[in-house]
């Protein structure tokens, strides 16, 4: 069979079009790849073959951006319109949330919006640190490198942008180009969250299973407040199989997209979610809410309750109190003049009928010793992780840069006394590993993986405002006593 005919069959079978649309579909394909048909190559997908045809015929330049744009335009033909996708999704929601998300996720994999082939390149493993923290490590190899043309286009694009950012609803169906994301095959589910219009989509380069994004339909800055908790509860009520959380809303401790209000979620149980409460904190005025300090490298207060209103009320008070709380003995400073330095990374999931809210305390102060952040990975760890500690890493899954794949191969050679080109930045670390282990070709991989787990544990400890030591325990005690006292006093003043 000829490839254009074959792909037309695939488009019709997908349900996006009907048999009556065949001529129309064929002409749509030819407009993208040229009129001349050719034999199918069974070793490639139709879309891969089409993209190469377009390159060979000089219809598109031979670069990553042009290939990605055409790839997504072709897959768009196999994808129902946004209105149809939303209609089917909400019909399936009548049966169950899991039925709806299973269908929507499969659609986004089948239409190549979720780049499963690219995601499979990531290196992923897990381990338990010497401090008994279960952690997950990923080396991100899925995202393609940007073309020089794309970088140049972004640098010169100083006017009004459309879409305003990569999260805006206007990306749905946007063709893209140099310096602009290809989103022809993106579909967004419209939702009402916390009484406001939001969208729900999957992440193309997912960091975990069914990695999804909830986005405000307006391009407004991120903010963590009571409405955040209302929104997270609402999402959990609608999609109880997923966790949902927000990056912090300040630089250094926040994510990379602070200009657009959004959350992340998905079907994955992160290590932090399995960590136990090591010390309970009693709030007499909130008997329906169990609160405790979590046994975790970062500073996490967990609230558990079936009573969502009580959870929102107490959670909001904790956020507001932390916003104003300072402890100079531990370099914790809430404000510098009018500049706010405190926020939280809030994460929520369900345990049966119970809502579980983790509030991870964040501080973005800097100092002469720590110019990138006092509570940020310290310089001796930058050879592995220098980037911000965002939502996913807070929960115990490291997102490490792709450069490490090649660099760690050289570290491995060094450990095995083979000829190597180990980077100077890794040398002291590698020497320490070598001094503490009897390394062979059989155990070198597991030793190196464990060493990465230990580094990531240290990275998270750096980001914790109350350290897991005697000084940190004193800080926790001081903070929780002041917090409980203020919450009790506020409640008494209401009556």
Q: Write down the pLDDT at residue 300.
A: 98
pLDDT in tens, 361-410: 999 999 999 999 999 999 999 999 999 999 999 999 999 999 999 999 99
318 Rama sector, left if φ>0, alpha if ψ -120 to 50, beta otherwise: alpha
Our CA dihedral for 251, 408, 462, 249, rounded to 10 degrees, sits at 20
pLDDT in tens, 36-72: 999 998 888 999 999 999 999 999 999 999 999 999 9
Indicate the pLDDT class of residue 103, thresholds 50, 70 and 90.
Answer: very high
Q: Write down the pLDDT at residue 1.
A: 78
pLDDT in tens, 15-33: 999 999 999 999 999 999 9
Q: Write down the pLDDT at residue 145.
A: 61
| Separation of alpha carbons 247 and 215, rounded Å | 13
- Candidates 270, 218, 276; CA nearest to 245 is 270
pLDDT in tens, 469-482: 999 999 999 999 99
Residue 389 CB partners (closer than 8 Å, separation 6+): 253, 376, 377, 459, 460, 463
Among the listed ranges 64-78, 158-172, 212-226, which one has the minimum average pLDDT value?
Answer: 158-172
Q: Write down the pLDDT at residue 161.
A: 84
Strand locations in 287-429 (E): 290-294, 300-305, 335-336, 339-340, 342-351, 354-363, 397-400
Angle 350-351-352 from CA coordinates, rounded to 5°: 100
Tell me what percent of the residues of the chain surpass a pLDDT of 70. Answer: 96
Mean pLDDT of the chain: 95
Indicate the pLDDT class of residue 121, thresholds 50, 70 and 90.
Answer: very high
Looking at 355-423, list the stretches that DSSP marks H as alpha helix, in order from N- to C-terminal side: 391-394, 403-415
Q: Write down the pLDDT at residue 151.
A: 54
Average pLDDT over residues 171-185: 94
How is 121-133 classified by DSSP, letter by letter?
A: TSEEEEEE-TTS-
Q: Write down the pLDDT at residue 76.
A: 98
Residue with tokens 């409980």: 484
Strand order in the sheet with 134-139: 123-128, 134-139, 397-400
* pTM as predicted: 0.94
Tell me what percent of the residues of the chain surpass a pLDDT of 90. Answer: 92
| Separation of alpha carbons 366 and 31, rounded Å | 55
| Separation of alpha carbons 118 and 104, rounded Å | 20
Average pLDDT over residues 160-182: 93
Q: Is 397 helix (H, G, I), strand (E, B) or coil?
A: strand
Indicate the pLDDT class of residue 9, thresholds 50, 70 and 90.
Answer: very high
Q: Do 110 and 245 meet the contact criterion of CB atoms below 8 Å apart?
A: no
Q: Are strands 342-351 and 354-363 parallel, antiparallel or unpaired?
A: antiparallel
Query: Within a 10 A sphere around the Cβ of 228, how many other Cβ atoms?
Result: 24
180 burial class (0-12, 13-18, 19+ CB within 10 angstroms)? buried
Q: Write down the pLDDT at residue 155.
A: 53
pLDDT in tens, 408-467: 999 999 999 999 999 999 999 999 999 999 999 999 999 999 999 999 999 999 999 999
| Separation of alpha carbons 273 and 260, rounded Å | 26
| Separation of alpha carbons 294 and 272, rounded Å | 8
């Amino acid at each position: 069979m000829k490839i254009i005919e074959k792909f037309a069959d695939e488009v019709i079978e997908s349900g996006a079009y009907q048999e009556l649309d065949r001529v129309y579909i064929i002409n749509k394909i030819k407009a993208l790849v040229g009129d001349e048909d050719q034999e199918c190559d069974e070793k490639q997908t139709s879309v891969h073959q089409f993209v190469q045809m377009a390159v060979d015929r000089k219809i598109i330049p031979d670069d990553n951006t042009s290939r990605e744009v055409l790839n997504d335009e072709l897959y768009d033909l196999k994808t129902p319109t946004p209105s149809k996708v939303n209609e089917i999704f909400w019909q399936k929601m009548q049966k169950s949330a899991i039925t709806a998300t299973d269908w929507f996720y499969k659609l986004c994999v089948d239409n190549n919006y979720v780049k499963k082939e690219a995601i499979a390149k990531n290196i992923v493993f897990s381990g338990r640190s010497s401090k008994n923290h279960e952690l997950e490590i990923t080396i991100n190899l899925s995202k393609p490198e940007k073309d020089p043309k794309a970088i140049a286009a972004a640098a010169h694009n100083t006017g009004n942008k459309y879409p305003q950012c990569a999260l805006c609803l206007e990306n749905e169906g946007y063709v893209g180009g140099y310096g602009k994301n290809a989103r022809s095959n993106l579909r967004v589910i419209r939702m009402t969250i916390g009484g406001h219009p939001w969208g729900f989509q999957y992440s193309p380069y997912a960091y975990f299973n069914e990695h999804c994004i909830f986005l405000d339909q307006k391009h407004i800055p991120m903010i963590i407040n009571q409405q955040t908790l209302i929104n997270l509860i609402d999402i959990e009520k609608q999609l109880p199989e997923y966790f949902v959380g927000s990056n912090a809303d300040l630089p250094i401790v926040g994510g990379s997209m602070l200009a657009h209000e959004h959350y992340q979620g998905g079907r994955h149980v992160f290590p932090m979610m399995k960590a136990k409460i090591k010390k309970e904190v009693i709030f007499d005025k909130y008997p329906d809410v169990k609160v405790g300090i979590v046994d975790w490298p970062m500073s996490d207060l967990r609230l558990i309750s079936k009573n969502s209103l009580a959870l929102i009320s107490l959670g909001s008070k904790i956020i507001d109190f932390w916003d104003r709380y300072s402890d100079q003995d531990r370099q914790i400073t809430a404000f510098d003049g009018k500049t706010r330095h405190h926020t939280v990374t809030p994460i929520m999931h369900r345990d049966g009928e119970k809502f579980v809210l983790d509030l991870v305390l964040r501080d973005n102060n800097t100092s002469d010793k720590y110019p990138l952040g006092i509570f940020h990975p310290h310089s001796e760890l930058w050879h592995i992780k220098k980037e911000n500690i965002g939502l996913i890493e807070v929960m115990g899954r490291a997102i490490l840069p792709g450069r490490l794949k090649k660099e760690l191969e050289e570290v491995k050679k060094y450990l095995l006394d083979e000829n190597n080109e180990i980077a100077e930045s890794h040398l002291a670390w590698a020497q320490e590993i070598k001094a503490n282990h009897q390394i062979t070709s059989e155990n070198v991989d597991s030793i190196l993986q464990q060493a990465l787990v230990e580094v990531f544990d240290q990275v998270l400890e750096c980001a914790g405002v109350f350290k897991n030591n005697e000084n940190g325990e004193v800080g926790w005690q001081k903070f929780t006593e002041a917090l409980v006292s203020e919450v009790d006093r506020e409640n008494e003043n209401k009556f």
